[in-house]
Structure 1
Amino acid sequence: MDYVTRATRTQLNVSLSRIATMRHVVSQAALAANPDREERIRRLTEEIAELTAERDRLAEGGEMLETSEAELTEQFANVLRELDGLPSDFRRVEEAVRGMHKIITKRFREESRPVGEVVDDYLDQSANLLTVTPEGRAFAGALELLRNRDWLARLRTDLEAILSHPWAETLLPDEQRQLRTTVDVIRRGISDVLGQRQRLSATLREHIENYDHVKNRELGEVLRGIDREMRMWMQSARARSHVEVELIPPGLDISGLRFRTFDPDSERAPEPLEDVTTEAPQVLSLDEIRKQGGPSLTDLRRELEARLATGDVESAAALFNILPDDLRRPVEILGLMHLLAGMDTDIDTTTREPVVAVRPDGSIRRFLMPRVTMADASSVDGDDQ
């Protein structure tokens, strides 16, 4: 696939941009191989002089040098060539972590390796993974750059500048998509590598928490003893010889052990109850209890029949508001509606009238009840209790 991708591009790999990039890389490698202070100062002085001269020329109104199409093509090809290797580099780091995962798991299963040694090896390999291998060093550098928000902002700005250039329309759709998703590719690759490391750490933690080395060592000794006895028996046994083996061992006659001893406190009589008769609440009278009960249907019926006989009340709300205080409790509203429901009258639920109720403690509550016209009411049903 990499060969096909490169073959579909019209740009040559040997270009001015690539040669310049190669020269810069070789120069940096030479400085790293021979860290000469004077040489480093000389090169920095040359770069500063070149950049200062260019800045002064532009500041004095100098002409901006336009890049030719051939140079743009070389630059774009160089950028795409560098981006092509990102997924494979991250994949190699992930494969290195996955290989470490397999090795750690295998060593855990070996009885000859103590857990402490395996953990030490894991810590050493994990620390050296990002410094020993080229892939690890590249991953460490990418991780350090991603933590720099200014670097990410500059990278996005540069990529947008490349894609906004008219010459970028000559790129293949896949190449344009590759430029747009560069930051996402870097983030996804780092996330995959870190996820693989987290799975390795989870395997290590789970094995340390759940692995019973004492029990496994005892089981291994039993199996080796069985194998040793089997080899000795095979030296004298015939083809059809067999050994009686009890699948379930016989029970042991062991007297029970008492886990609870005699406690004298459990036989002691409980302490006498404290006399709290002086703290008893005040006894309620029958009238006070009745005020806390349901509606007084008998008294309400008597008042309702008297008002119907005189005809001086137009609605149920008006009747309730002129009742005595002991018949104007909030619960009496339900009792009055109960009596009115048994009468041949229409209850207008869409129209509400205010009523003022008096609670047993003297406080006032205001409610809204459906309007019931008393002029059309007949006699109250005497069966309601």
Structure 2
Amino acid sequence: MSDTRVEAAYAGALAAFKNPMLDLLHGRFAPFVVAVLSVTFTSERAAVPVADAHAEIGDMLDQLRGTGYAEGESGEVLLPVGSARDLCRQWVRAGWLLRQIEGDDEVYRLSAHAVGALEVAGRASGSRSRVSESRVRTLLEAVERLAQDADPDVLTRVARLTEEISQRRAEIARLDRTGVVDTVDDDTMLEQAENVLHLTRELPADFARVVESIRAMQRDVVTDLRQDVRPAGEVLREYLQRGKDVMASTPEGKAFAGALRMIGDPRRLDDLATNLRTVLRHRFTRAMGPPERAELAAVGRRIESGVKEVLAAQQTASHVITTQVRTHDPARDRQVDDLLRDVMAGFQAWMPDSRASDVVDPLRRLPNAALAHLRQSVSELRPPEPPEPLAQRGDVTSAVDDTRAWGGPRYRELEAHLEAYTAARGSEDTFDVADVFATAPEEIRRPVDLLGLLEIVHRLGMDETGEISTVEAVRADGVRRRFAFGAVTASMRDDEDHDD
């Protein structure tokens, strides 16, 4: 049994030391890495542009080398070899740094493992954690709250609330009677402030773990989608739902969602800021160092910054997943993957034999496609010979005339009749459209010809008199119909002047 426990403990220890956080602290150059990362990344500067990070880390490396920190007392090497760019690449591969695109810039961010390592190193180099009244009270209150939430008995809950109300009333009565508030000595308050800072230092790592879990879920969803061959409708339903409920898809996200319900209340954040200002005005804070006072003042900003970072990661993940679903094309994705693999294979073949001074000729234009033959024609839509002429029959003419009789206006005949009508009137330029239509032959006095005549006089510049005209039209089958319309007059001279 003992051997089994030892083996299990050893296997667990091996797995723990493979964690990037312990790897950072256990590494050969761990003091240098911790110092550089803690100076480069702060609570106010969570993301650093790649170029700025390389320049700053390079300056720090040169400064440490110039001040004699390159070797230890026994001759061991204390600083890594290589440029800042090479070191950052190594840290990205080790899982200590994250290289991301934010807007138009490429930035570095600390991973959750690096944040946890810096937290452990900070606690080890600072004041030693000790058992205190504040820590024990925090523990007891947490256990009491857990017991209250776990106990569903109504009578027990009522009894606890009644006891709490009695204690509060007794305290109010004492204050009213004595007018004296029990004071707390500075040492106790200093210890409580250290406990607050201890709890606060754990928040960045917690927020970073939530962000990384969301981004890992995003990568998994996009990868699965690119490799998916299921129907598009099924893919849309599944992945849009996962993108919508991204916060509830990971354990860290669920825990953060519960915490967000508490710290997302603006009144709680306002109360937190007010309480921090009250604490910082107290005399016991003079015993704290400037870094501790600044850290205590930045508790609210650290919480707000962590919440904003998590919400931004959630929004980005939802946008990326939704965009990928909408633009998902398995054939195109496979082509892109094949192209990228060809590019990487070309780099792997070129890099071993290349030098830093080698010049790569850019591809200035795409090569021409080598096609053996293109079709120069398609199926001929036109028949090889014209169609046969229509047979001449005796009833064709009557059929055409009958069809025309039921057709649209006969503009030519109407214009000829209008010219004859105005010529017969001599010097009278203005005429009434109703009179013109009434004097027309029955062949061009159909209802549709009335519309054609109104269209013609409209081009001449007709005027409405405000009266009502009535005309009788003759249909093609001989049926007569009376139509009433607004009286219209026109003049042939307007058309002639317009033509001139």
TM-score w.r.t. the length of structure 1 is: 0.55
1:254 aligns with 2:384: no
Question: SS of 2:460's equivalent?
Answer: coil
User: Displacement of 1:280 after TM fit?
Assistant: 12
User: Displacement of 1:127 after TM fit?
Assistant: 3.1
Gaps of 5+ in 2: 1-117, 336-369, 383-407, 413-454, 462-492
> Would you say the 8 A contact 2:214–2:246 is kept in 1?
no
Question: SS of 1:192's equivalent?
Answer: helix
Q: What is the rounded CA distance, in whole Å, between the counterparts of 1:109 and 1:168 in structure 2?
A: 56
Q: What is the rounded CA distance, in whole Å, between the counterparts of 1:118 and 1:105 in structure 2?
A: 11
- Report the structure number with the largest CA radius of gyration: 1
The one-letter code matched in structure 1 to 2:306 is G
Runs of 4 or more off by more than 6 Å in structure 1?
none
> Would you say the 8 A contact 1:93–1:139 is kept in 2?
yes
Give the aligned partner of residue 23 of structure 1.
140
Q: What is the rounded CA distance, in whole Å, between the counterparts of 2:228 and 2:276 in structure 1?
A: 54
> Would you say the 8 A contact 2:211–2:309 is kept in 1?
yes
Give the aligned partner of residue 98 of structure 1.
215
Give the aligned partner of residue 241 of structure 2.
123
User: Displacement of 1:279 after TM fit?
Assistant: 10
User: Displacement of 1:247 after TM fit?
Assistant: 3.7
Q: What is the rounded CA distance, in whole Å, between the counterparts of 2:323 and 2:120 in structure 1?
A: 44
The one-letter code matched in structure 1 to 2:459 is E
Q: What is the rounded CA distance, in whole Å, between the counterparts of 1:179 and 1:2 in structure 2?
A: 16
Q: What is the rounded CA distance, in whole Å, between the counterparts of 2:270 and 2:263 in structure 1?
A: 10
Give the aligned partner of residue 313 of structure 2.
196
Q: What is the rounded CA distance, in whole Å, between the counterparts of 2:210 and 2:245 in structure 1?
A: 13
Give the aligned partner of residue 46 of structure 1.
163
> Would you say the 8 A contact 1:98–1:196 is kept in 2?
yes
| Pair 1:278–1:80, CA change in 2 (3 A) | same
1:13 aligns with 2:198: no
Question: SS of 2:188's equivalent?
Answer: helix
Q: What is the rounded CA distance, in whole Å, between the counterparts of 1:125 and 1:208 in structure 2?
A: 10
> Would you say the 8 A contact 2:239–2:325 is kept in 1?
no
1:81 aligns with 2:266: no
Alignment match of 2:185 (pick from 54, 64, 68): 68
Q: What is the rounded CA distance, in whole Å, between the counterparts of 1:136 and 1:197 in structure 2?
A: 9
User: Displacement of 1:121 after TM fit?
Assistant: 5.0
Give the aligned partner of residue 272 of structure 2.
155
> Would you say the 8 A contact 1:94–1:196 is kept in 2?
yes
Residue deviations 1:121-171 (CA, integer Å, cap 9, x gap): 5634863744862x3244223432344222122111111111111111222
| Pair 1:197–1:12, CA change in 2 (3 A) | closer
- 1:169-318 to structure 2, matched below 5 A, reads 169-212=286-329, 247-251=371-375, 253-255=377-379, 274-276=459-461
Q: CA RMSD in A?
A: 3.7
Give the aligned partner of residue 355 of structure 1.
none
- 1:341-360 to structure 2, matched below 5 A, reads none
Q: What is the rounded CA distance, in whole Å, between the counterparts of 2:217 and 2:256 in structure 1?
A: 16
Residue deviations 1:59-100 (CA, integer Å, cap 9, x gap): 122422110122102210111112111111111110111001
User: Displacement of 1:256 after TM fit?
Assistant: 5.3
Q: What is the rounded CA distance, in whole Å, between the counterparts of 1:65 and 1:188 in structure 2?
A: 36
Q: What is the rounded CA distance, in whole Å, between the counterparts of 1:115 and 1:172 in structure 2?
A: 60
> Would you say the 8 A contact 2:148–2:157 is kept in 1?
yes
User: Displacement of 1:203 after TM fit?
Assistant: 1.9
Which has the higher relative contact order, 1 or 2, with Cα contacts under 8 A spaced 6 or more apart? 1
Give the aligned partner of residue 476 of structure 2.
none
Q: Aligned residues: percent identity?
A: 30
User: Displacement of 1:16 after TM fit?
Assistant: 0.5
Question: SS of 1:26's equivalent?
Answer: helix
